[in-house]
Chains A and B, each alone.
Chain A
Amino acid sequence: MKTITLTLKKKSPIALEFDELIPDKVFDWEKVDFEKYQVPVGNRRFPLTDYFDIEVEGDAAGPEEVKMILDGDFGRVKYIGCKMGAGEIIVNGDADLHCGAEMEGGKITVNGNAESYAGREMKGGELEIMGNTREFCGCSYIGDWRGMSGGKITLHGSAGKQLGECLSGGEIYVKGDCDILAGIHMNKGFIQIDGDVTRWPGGQMKNGNILVKGKLGILLEGFVYDSVVADPVIDGKSFSGKYIKYNGDIAVNGKGNLYLNAEKNREFL
């Protein structure tokens, strides 16, 4: 087991990029390798040691034996864990854009807030964010119609706009509230939101499931009432209580399911 600890000593106003510092690439690095490494900052590179104190302990035969601990405010460090395939990254602070983007395996925990595009195009592994995140969590790359396809995102705080945009697999679980258009264009997978939702979940969804335990502000016209179901089971997960089930989005001939907590959303009945 190898533990790599980076402790922030200077926060750059221009974002650093960390996609080269994933367990898959650094599992055999010694302290000296990190000290030699130049990190991308904007369109240039600077020594990693300008920004961090570095500790390396133990050995790893592969990325799965690596734990990276990022201590401090990483709110100006982009692409943390981007494309990682194994191992673990713990951010003890905030994370900037694209945290866990394109990740295929392993686990990232952010003990703070994550900026937009967290878990973009995620294919596998786990991303857990203890705070809030902003727009396009678990989405596609801009312009693409192929979004997150596997793995799990757990968000203890709230999500911004277009959560799980173009979702085609995997699971997103939001314990807090969620802003507009969760699951827009999704065609597979499951989004669970425990808190309240402002409006329009499932816009143009083709398939997949969205469940809202809290209160919904505005439902899209493309969702057709199906029935009130008791204790639904979705993707092997059971939910107690009554839920109003809708099908949609009929604007795109969608076969998706949207479940709203019946008790909290009585006015829709």
Chain B
Amino acid sequence: MEYILKNGIVYDPANNIAGEKKDVMFKDGKIVEQVSSDAKVLDVTDKIVMPAGVDPHAHIAGPKLVVGRIYRPEDSRKGVTSKKGVCRSESGFSIPSCPATGYRYSRMGYGTVTEAAVPPLEAKHTHEEIMAIPNVDVTPLPLFGNNWFVLQWAKEGKIDEIAAFVASWLRIVKGYGIKIVNPCGTEAWGWGGNVHGIDDPVPYFDVTAREVVRALAQANEKLGLPHSIHVHPNDLGHPGNYPTTVNTLDCVKDIAKNGSKRNQTIHLTHAQFHSYAGTSWRDVESGAKEVADYINNNKHVTCDIGQVTLDETTTMTADGPMEFDLHELNGLKWANKDIELETGSGIVPFIYSGKAPVPSFQWGVGLELFLRIKDPWQVCLTTDHPNAGPFIRYPRIISWLMSNERRQEMMDNGEVRVWSYKRTGLGTLDREYDFNEIATITRASAAKIYGYQDRGELTPGYNADIAVYDINPNDIDPSKEPAAIEHAFGNAMYTIKDGQILVKDGEVVKVVPSHTIWTDVKGFEEQEKTVMEEVMPTFRRFYTVKFENYQVQDHFTPNPIVTEVQAGK
């Protein structure tokens, strides 16, 4: 089937197209240069056309989500809809049901989402949930930063072993790249503690976050994985944590990049939670300037923000000790899980109220980072869903980024407390994003950061993953009309995925199975074999499952998109 999206105003940052009136054509699921006269015409005259959205960091599938849903029925009852058209019923606000997750991303014009924290032991479960999420392709990132094997080899400086282990484990669990969460800290939580800063050794293994992050970065570049290491540094959410963040980014500066598409060797996730100065919640101040300055001066770094949306949400992370701190802080219910030799996790509901100083401050820090980071290719829009707020708020964040007037209004009329500008630099920043920058931070930069070679651009040969929004960019003043911007980006006129129209006028009209995007490393087989021989005795001794039941068999990824990588190339 051939289509022509006619007369849209196209924003395709990867191809340097910024608001040009032009047609976009696709055939058999791919973008093409031209189509025949039989092509079906979709008139999108003067509407915004972009590649479909790419979310580089969210928590949408896996055991944390299930525990969250089980222990927060009060969240599930929000957002309940009945079965309508092609859609099943929906439930949930911060932890939506699997189908709702797919529909809601689809309605915003998104086509790809990263599941950012897969405990390898629970990978099967994660994949089962991905199968239940329609309409968006999912990229799972397995956790490596507190893995016993990795900790041991990092201590011994055995980079080849780590590389081989990562190559094997990505295949075993069907993962895309390396996620690191509070390196050494979550393992320390197994001993009832945490680590502070990147040079604080974890009990027993006696290795530091600096050593682990460097070792995994070296392994990542040795293999030449499409994505860089994806790091949630130590000290999340602690006043005075920004030096830890900057030190983490700086500790891999000397490691040479080995990835064809991306520029970075480290991706800092939910930077907002890691950009605080001061010494306590009493004297806390923003460290956004220091973190943004570092990013502005260092091209080996990219980030996503984790913007606070001012909602009641559910925090869930592999940062077990952080979640306990949060529970102590807000007194709300707490779930905790240890994942054997790999990681841990915690869950706590959280209310980011604009009436309270701390959430107002966090809201300000996130926006400050967005506005201070100069190169939109180094930053992505996220809420670390659901940690700082649900992903359905992306359109609202877009409206804030495009309107200084709206931000000032929120600070003036008390929608956020004074800490939003007295403790941050937000009040002094009047930058407003334009549509091209929005297109960059919501799709193009994420696709480049992940090294995707089939999406995030409207390049011929790429997947026909396209979003059309019902606004005329030459007609609207986003600065003055934030509500219209939010509505348009929340209700795509068209969401097209692999050439199929999934959403029309904000309604899901077609439901398709999602794909699972994972990385298969080739050319490292010998090293992998040796490492597996070393791993297996420990595996058999300490894991509660047999290896045969641990592996993710092919039927867990019925629609795989396999990125083959030649190790070292």
Contact = CB atoms under 8 A, between A and B. Distances in A.
Interface string B77-114: 10000000000000000000000000000000000000
Contacts of A143: 71-75
Residue of B71, B72, B74, B75 with most partner-chain A CB within 10 A: B74
A141 interface: yes
A245 to B, nearest CB: 26
Contacts, number: 14
B546 interface: no
A142 B332 contact: no
Interface in B112-168: none
A144 interface: yes
B312 to A, nearest CB: 10
Interface residues of B, number: 8
B333 interface: yes
A165 to B, nearest CB: 13
A248 B216 CA distance: 51
Q: How large is the interface on A (under 10, 10 to 19, 20 to 34, 35 or more residues)?
A: under 10
Contacts of B332: 145
A141 B71 CA distance: 12
B504 to A, nearest CB: 28
Given A140-B74, A141-B74, 5 more contacts: A141-B73, A141-B77, A142-B74, A143-B75, A145-B333
Contacts of B75: 143
Contacts of A144: 74
Contacts of A141: 73-74, 77
A142 B333 contact: no
Interface string A67-109: 0000000000000000000000000000000000000000000
A148 to B, nearest CB: 14
Nearest to B73: A143
A253 B284 CA distance: 28
Contacts of A145: 332-333
13 contacts: A140-B74, A141-B73, A141-B77, A142-B73, A142-B74, A143-B71, A143-B72, A143-B73, A143-B74, A143-B75, A144-B74, A145-B332, A145-B333
Contacts of B73: 141-143
B335 to A, nearest CB: 12
A137 B93 CA distance: 26
Q: Shortest 7 CB-CB distances between A and B: which pairs?
A: A144-B74, A143-B73, A143-B74, A142-B73, A141-B74, A143-B72, A145-B332
Contacts of B74: 140-144
Nearest to B70: A143
Contacts of B77: 141
A263 B260 CA distance: 84
A140 B71 CA distance: 14
Nearest to A144: B74
A141 B73 CA distance: 8
